[in-house]
């Protein structure tokens, strides 16, 4: 072959190699090009080398020199391309890829805000050593009233203030025997009846009291009641536990105060308030369990004492999350549920 | 209850700072609700709890203040002068219904001059009545005095015009059915048995404990007056009041229980004021029928119990001071205990613990520390809570929102869907929400109503679940409550079935989920099922029928399901155990078989499981295809995949083929199915 032709070939080879190497988008592509140009057996450089055999003897030195330069140029181009790809820079840009488009849509449901509140309460009380106790929502007179020291004449028993069940087939003058529980202390009675002290429990769940539904009242709501009976429990323990609870719930130092009140099942009875953000806020009712109640479940008031406290879950939830209408909790508008 | 500041000064010094007094009262038992100026006086609103009827009068409130500020309390001691003639000659009293009225006393004043009340009296009554009733006006001196004494000591009184009492005899009895009576408010009431009436010879002159009669009320023309001071039964008074929808300051107090000794004091006080203000002469003695107050038993307070209950000690001197100033009479005392006789106006003090409460509230609850060393105790999460947590976690993860709905529904919802029981649903005497008085036997109607509400709010995606109880009638036995998870989706039967299966997998439940056909009008006749877990009734699942959608006002399709939490708890494996993971690779074979339409997947799966041998890992349903032209009518093709693995060796392709042949043979023999080429 003529020298001129050979030199043109070599020139072409360098141009093509450089172009291919810089177009390679990744290491695999680059490798393919390397094999094409620099491959030991069938690479184009190798083929060009073989062509040198056909060069005229006086042209051989120039041909060889140009060949070596070509080889170096191609190898250099390869190294540069390798470095570029290894450092991750550049490569072919895909103009159709828009990183700001939204990610895939997934739908996750939400737990009801009342459930969320209850789970948090269980959590905090659990850490304070209170286990969860459960019981029926439909109660008999004994557990809802008698055992809680609420005698027949007490206004709390009034038929207009409770959801007594209508017992089918029996006349109106038969005393109603079952009702939908008006407090969760019924569960506490059940536990005490079947467990010897010490008892440290919370009972949570739905309770029912006749009330016209409006922004702050609903005939069905949730209560949490705590109970601790042991040989040495005092009102100071009650105040302390309430303070620990409130502090854990609010996440800051909280103080508790008692105001005298009256509940048939506690004596002394108090309303407990906690101090937060510059004001006293109502927490719920509390007190030492009345000795009559202790005797009723078979405990000896000379051996053990105990306290009980209760709070309304809806009120707590509304306060924390800024809900202003209690009826929203039971409407189940998904836009409401999704806010929590 | 409103009290007048000026009036209180009659009994105790009121020099203290007003705000401090209000705070102090709130902290010791009379919650301060507000203060309003009335003329030159202050009307102080205090909440009196139902166990403290002694504070339903100014003297009771003054006593509290006296104890709190350690001030002397000065109570009038009425001893009105009586003339020679006996009251018992003017009037006789007989109680026929002692269960409605335990004591009835009467005094007689002759020759009163009925007219306007003096200024000081009117001002005091005005302060406590006008804020709640701007139309309030004094009546006349006699009537105003009875109201004054009522608000002074809390004992209700009534004054009759003696001339209007026919036969000069009072009988206290039960009302007869439909007995008519015109009260002071000039309404006529229809009375019933169980209600207490004060009667003369002609008929009722007052509803005992509630309100006097129009005919016998004291007017300008009254000359002789009969003063009633009695004790009426709390329960009877309350039910009478409620039945007639007639409430008064008197009925309010009788409902809460009166001081049996206070009857006489109030009567004398009333007479004393009448003589002073209206003139007249008081007849000798008090006609007194019924039972007298019983002597109170002493109560012993062991001093070591104070620290046992309250957690703080109180000096014995303080204890004695507090008890004495509250009206308790100390009978004996030593270093260990104090024995007292409680006052007759404190029927709530009858036990040691009651006295301890008095000490605590007067000494101050702020003295009780809030940093006791509370011992720790173990508490573990219950299994049912753990299961519920996982259930909620799966359902929310899949995209369901948790709903909460009322436990009590309308009767037609309860009857339209009650798969768990065919018994009559339970009902309340009192409806809970508009017309809803039935305890729901299923969560489904409530969930469908939630769908409808969301639909009306144009919320497009409605995926909800609720964990709650349903209530089943068990006749004589206490009703049964079942805890359920109810779910509703806009997707189809298989979607919801998949969700339920996912719950079983998450809880690592091995038990077999099986279906049985079920006939429930609310659900589609075919696209629904009764679910069983290891043969036990587990729940119900189905697409809502067209009739159901219409009934609940739903515009688009919905599927519902309800399953028992108890069964999930029974079968859940809450502490998963690791088992050896095989190092051998598995091998799979597809099978495309054609069977009759009536052959179910459950049957196919069962046959495969039985015939594939010990190496069987999983049987997976892939799809169904129908080609009536090729296979004939009522035939279908089921494509399934079977994976196999041996624990000991790598299975060969030939072994897999052999197993496939066995399975195909079993399917052919038991189900009449054929393998397609």
Residue extents of the structural domains in chain B = 2-69, 82-290, 299-366, 383-571, 587-675
Same-domain status, A126 and A70: no
Q: Does A335 touch chain B (CB under 8 A)?
A: yes
Contact A138 B471 (CB under 8 A): yes
Same-domain status, A136 and A67: no
Return the structure tokens found at B627. Answer: 């080609």
Contact B50 A152 (CB under 8 A): no
Whether A132 is covered by a domain: the verdict is yes
Return the structure tokens found at B96. Answer: 């026929």
Residues B660-677 pLDDT 10s: 999 999 999 999 988 886
Contact B87, B225 (CB under 8 A): no
Q: Which residues of B touch A138 (CB under 8 A)?
A: 426, 439, 471, 478-479, 481
Of A86, A103, A128, the domain-final residue: A86
Interfacial A residues in 243-302 facing B (CB < 8 Å): 243-244, 255-262, 267-271, 288, 290-291
* Pairing state between β A178-180 and A165-166: unpaired
pLDDT at B258: 87
Summary mean pLDDT of chain B: 94
The correct answer on CATH 3.50.40.10 for the domain covering B82-290 is: yes
Which among B404, B453, B481 is the nearest to A114, CB-wise?
Answer: B404
Distance from CA of B124 to the nearest CA of A (A): 28
pLDDT at B477: 86
Q: Mention every residue, 6+ apart, whose C-beta is less than 8 A from residue B614.
A: none
Which among B255, B357, B429 is the nearest to A176, CB-wise?
Answer: B429
Domain span at A241: 113-337
Same-domain status, A64 and A122: no
CA–CA separation, B271 vs B79, rounded Å?
A: 9
Q: Residue A168 pLDDT more than 60?
A: no
CA–CA separation, A330 vs B449, rounded Å?
A: 11
What is the tally of helices (H) and strands (E) in chain A? 12, 10
Whether A314 is covered by a domain: the verdict is yes
Q: Which CATH architecture has domain B383-571?
A: 2-Layer Sandwich (3.30)
Whether A92 is covered by a domain: the verdict is no
Whether A46 is covered by a domain: the verdict is yes
Which among B311, B366, B379 is the nearest to A126, CB-wise?
Answer: B379
Where does B269-376 show beta strands of DSSP type E?
281-284, 287-290, 299-302, 329-333, 337-341
Same-domain status, A43 and A152: no
- Could you please state the CATH topology (level 3) that the domain comprising B2-69 is classified under: Phenylalanyl-tRNA Synthetase; Chain B, domain 1 (3.30.56)
Same-domain status, A118 and A250: yes
Q: Kindly report the CATH class assigned to B587-675.
A: alpha beta
Q: Which residues of A touch B399 (CB under 8 A)?
A: 106-109
| Nearest residue in B to A112, CA atom | B402
Same-domain status, A77 and A148: no
Whether A105 is covered by a domain: the verdict is no
HSE toward the beta carbon, residue A75, CA cutoff 13 A: 10
Q: Which residues of B touch A112 (CB under 8 A)?
A: 401-404
Least confident of A45-54, B296-305, B507-516: A45-54
Helix axes B493-506, B383-398, angle to 10 degrees: 140
Q: Which residues of B touch A107 (CB under 8 A)?
A: 399, 461, 463
Whether A242 is covered by a domain: the verdict is yes
Of A40, A69, A86, the domain-final residue: A86
Contact A107 B461 (CB under 8 A): yes
Multiple choice CATH, B299-366, 3.30.300.30, 1.10.3720.10, 3.30.56.10, 3.40.50.2000 = 3.30.56.10
Q: Mention every residue, 6+ apart, whose C-beta is less than 8 A from residue A332.
A: B401, B403, B404, B405, B450, B453, B454, B464
- What is the pLDDT averaged over residues B473-488? 93
CA–CA separation, B473 vs A138, rounded Å?
A: 11
Same-domain status, A71 and A184: no
- What is the pLDDT averaged over residues B528-546? 97
Interfacial A residues in 217-246 facing B (CB < 8 Å): 219-220, 234-237, 239-244
Q: Which residues of B touch A129 (CB under 8 A)?
A: 376-379
Q: Which residues of A touch B432 (CB under 8 A)?
A: 163, 208, 210, 219-220
Q: Residue A92 pLDDT more than 80?
A: no
Question: Can you give the CATH number for the domain in which A223 is found?
Answer: 3.30.930.10
Q: Is B507 helix (H, G, I), strand (E, B) or coil?
A: coil
pLDDT at A60: 85
Q: Which residues of B touch A110 (CB under 8 A)?
A: 396, 401-402
| Nearest residue in B to A129, CA atom | B377
Which among A213, A305, A335 is the nearest to B433, CB-wise?
Answer: A213
Taking the CA atoms of residue B491, residue B492, residue B493 and residue B497 in that order, the dihedral angle to the nearest 10 degrees is -40
Q: Please, which pLDDT band fits residue A41 given cuts at 50, 70 and 90?
A: confident
- What is the pLDDT averaged over residues B218-237? 94
For residue A136, with 0-12 CB atoms within 10 Å meaning exposed, 13-18 middle and 19 or more buried, which class applies?
buried
Contact A108, B396 (CB under 8 A): yes
Domains B82-290 and B587-675 belong to one CATH topology: no
Q: Is A144 helix (H, G, I), strand (E, B) or coil?
A: helix
Residues B14-62 pLDDT 10s: 999 999 999 999 999 999 999 999 999 999 999 999 899 999 999 999 9
Distance from CA of A121 to the nearest CA of B (A): 13
CA–CA separation, B347 vs B376, rounded Å?
A: 39
Which among A163, A206, A267 is the nearest to B430, CB-wise?
Answer: A163
pLDDT at B427: 92
Q: Residue A174 pLDDT more than 60?
A: no
Whether A32 is covered by a domain: the verdict is yes
% of chain B beyond a pLDDT of 90: 93
Return the structure tokens found at A280. Answer: 């006293």
ipTM of the complex: 0.89
Same-domain status, A64 and A135: no
Query: What sign does the dihedral A61-A64-A70-A75 (CA atoms) show?
Result: negative
Residues B367-378 pLDDT 10s: 999 999 999 999
Instruction: Report how many domains make up chain A.
Output: 2
pLDDT at A88: 60
Contact B325, B343 (CB under 8 A): no
CA–CA separation, B464 vs A42, rounded Å?
A: 68
Same-domain status, A172 and A133: yes
Q: Which residue(s) pair with B93 in the sheet?
A: B170
Contact A332 B454 (CB under 8 A): yes
Distance from CA of A101 to the nearest CA of B (A): 23
Return the structure tokens found at B303. Answer: 């001093």
Residues B93-138 pLDDT 10s: 999 999 999 999 999 999 999 999 999 999 999 999 999 999 999 9
């Amino acid at each position: 072959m003529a020298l001129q032709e050979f030199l043109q070939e070599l020139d072409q080879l360098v141009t093509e190699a450089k172009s291919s190497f810089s177009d390679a988008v990744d290491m695999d592509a680059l490798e393919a090009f390397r094999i094409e140009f620099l491959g030991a057996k069938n690479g184009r450089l190798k083929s060009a080398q073989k062509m040198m055999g056909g060069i005229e003897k006086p042209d051989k030195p120039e041909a060889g020199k140009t060949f070596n330069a070509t080889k170096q140029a191609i190898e250099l181009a390869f190294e540069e391309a390798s470095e570029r790809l290894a450092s991750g820079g550049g490569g072919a840009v895909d103009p159709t890829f828009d990183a700001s488009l939204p990610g895939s849509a997934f739908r996750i449901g939400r737990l009801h805000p009342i459930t969320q509140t209850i789970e948090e309460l269980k959590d905090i009380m659990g850490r304070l050593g209170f286990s969860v106790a459960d019981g029926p929502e439909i109660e008999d007179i004994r557990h809802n009233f008698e055992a809680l020291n609420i005698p027949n004449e007490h206004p709390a028993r009034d038929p207009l203030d409770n959801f007594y069940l209508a017992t089918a087939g029996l006349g109106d003058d038969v005393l109603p025997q079952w009702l939908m529980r008006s407090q969760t202390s019924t569960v506490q009675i059940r536990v005490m009846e079947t467990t010897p002290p010490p008892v440290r429990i919370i009972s949570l769940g739905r309770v029912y009291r006749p009330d016209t539904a409006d922004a702050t009242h609903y005939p069905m709501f949730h209560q949490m009641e705590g109970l601790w009976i042991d040989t040495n429990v005092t009102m100071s323990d009650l105040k302390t536990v309430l303070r620990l609870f409130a502090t854990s719930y609010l996440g800051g130092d909280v103080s508790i105060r008692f105001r005298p009140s009256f509940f048939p099942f506690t004596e002394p009875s108090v309303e407990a308030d906690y101090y937060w953000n510059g004001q006293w806020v109502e927490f719920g009712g509390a007190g030492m369990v009345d000795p009559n109640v202790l005797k009723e479940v078979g405990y000896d008031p000379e051996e053990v004492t105990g306290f009980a406290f209760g709070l309304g879950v809806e009120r707590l939830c509304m306060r924390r999350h800024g809900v202003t209408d209690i009826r929203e909790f039971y409407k189940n508008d998904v836009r409401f549920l999704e806010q929590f | 209850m409103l009290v007048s500041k000026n009036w209180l000064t009659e009994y105790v010094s009121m020099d203290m700072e007003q705000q401090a007094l209000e705070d102090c009262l709130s902290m010791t038992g009379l919650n301060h609700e507000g203060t309003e100026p009335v003329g030159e006086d202050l009307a102080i609103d205090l909440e009196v709890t139902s166990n403290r009827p002694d504070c339903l009068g100014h003297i009771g409130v003054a006593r509290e203040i006296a104890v709190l500020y350690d001030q002397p309390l000065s109570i009038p001691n009425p001893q009105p002068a009586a003339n020679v003639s006996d009251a018992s000659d003017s009037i006789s009293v007989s109680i026929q219904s002692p269960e409605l009225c335990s004591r009835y006393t009467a005094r007689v004043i002759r020759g009163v001059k009925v007219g306007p009340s003096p200024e000081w009296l009117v001002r005091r009554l005005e302060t406590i009545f006008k804020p709640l009733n701007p139309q309030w006006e004094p009546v006349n001196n006699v009537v105003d005095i009875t109201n004054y004494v009522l608000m002074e000591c809390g004992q209700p009184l009534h004054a009759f015009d003696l001339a209007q009492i026919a036969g000069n005899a009072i009988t206290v009895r039960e009302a007869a059915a439909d007995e008519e009576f015109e009260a002071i408010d000039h309404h006529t009431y229809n009375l019933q048995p169980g209600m207490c009436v004060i009667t003369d010879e002609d008929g009722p002159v007052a509803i005992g404990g509630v309100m006097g009669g129009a005919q016998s009320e004291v007017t300008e023309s009254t000359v002789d007056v009969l003063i009633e001071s009695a004790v009426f039964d709390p329960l009877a008074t309350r039910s009478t009041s409620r039945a007639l929808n007639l409430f008064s300051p008197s009925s309010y107090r009788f409902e809460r229980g009166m001081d049996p000794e206070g009857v006489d004091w109030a009567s004398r006080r009333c007479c004393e004021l009448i003589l002073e203000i209206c003139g007249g002469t008081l007849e000798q003695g008090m006609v007194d029928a019924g039972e007298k107050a019983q002597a109170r038993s002493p109560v012993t307070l062991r001093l070591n119990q104070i620290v046992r209950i309250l957690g703080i000690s109180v000096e014995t001197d303080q204890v004695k001071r507090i008890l004495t100033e509250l009206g308790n009479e100390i009978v004996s005392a030593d270093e260990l205990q104090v024995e007292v006789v409680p006052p007759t106006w404190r029927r709530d003090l009858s036990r040691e613990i009651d006295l301890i409460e008095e000490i605590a509230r007067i000494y101050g609850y702020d003295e009780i520390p809030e940093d006791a060393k509370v011992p720790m105790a173990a508490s573990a999460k219950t299994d049912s809570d753990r299961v519920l947590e996982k259930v909620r976690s799966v359902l929310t993860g899949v995209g369901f929102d948790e709903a909460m709905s009322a436990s009590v529904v309308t009767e037609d919802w309860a009857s339209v869907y009650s798969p768990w029981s065919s018994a009559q649903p339970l009902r309340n005497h009192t409806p809970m929400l508009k017309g809803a008085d039935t305890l729901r036997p299923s969560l489904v109607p409530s969930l469908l109503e939630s769908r409808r509400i969301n639909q009306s709010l144009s919320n497009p995606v409605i995926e909800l679940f609720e964990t709650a109880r349903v209530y089943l009638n068990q006749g004589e036995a206490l009703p049964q409550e079942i805890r359920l998870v109810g779910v509703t989706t806009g997707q189809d039967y298989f979607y919801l079935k998949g969700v339920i299966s996912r719950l079983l997998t998450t809880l690592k439940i091995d038990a077999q989920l099986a279906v049985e056909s079920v006939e429930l009008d609310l659900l589609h006749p075919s696209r629904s099922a009764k679910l069983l877990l290891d043969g036990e009734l587990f729940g119900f699942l189905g697409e809502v029928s067209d009739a159901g959608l219409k009934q609940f006002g739903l515009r688009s399709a919905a599927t519902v399901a309800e399953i028992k939490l108890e069964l999930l708890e029974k079968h859940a494996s809450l502490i998963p155990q690791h088992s050896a993971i095989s190092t051998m690779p598995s091998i799979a074979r597809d099978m495309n078989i054609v069977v009759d339409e009536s052959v179910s997947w459950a049957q196919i799966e069962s046959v495969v499981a039985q015939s594939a041998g010990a190496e069987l890992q999983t049987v997976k349903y892939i799809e169904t295809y129908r080609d009536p032209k090729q296979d004939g009518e009522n035939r279908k093709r089921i494509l399934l995949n079977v994976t196999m693995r041996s624990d000991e060796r790598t299975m060969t392709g030939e072994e897999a083929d052999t197993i496939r042949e066995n399975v195909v043979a079993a399917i052919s023999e038991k189900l009449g199915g054929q393998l397609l080429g």
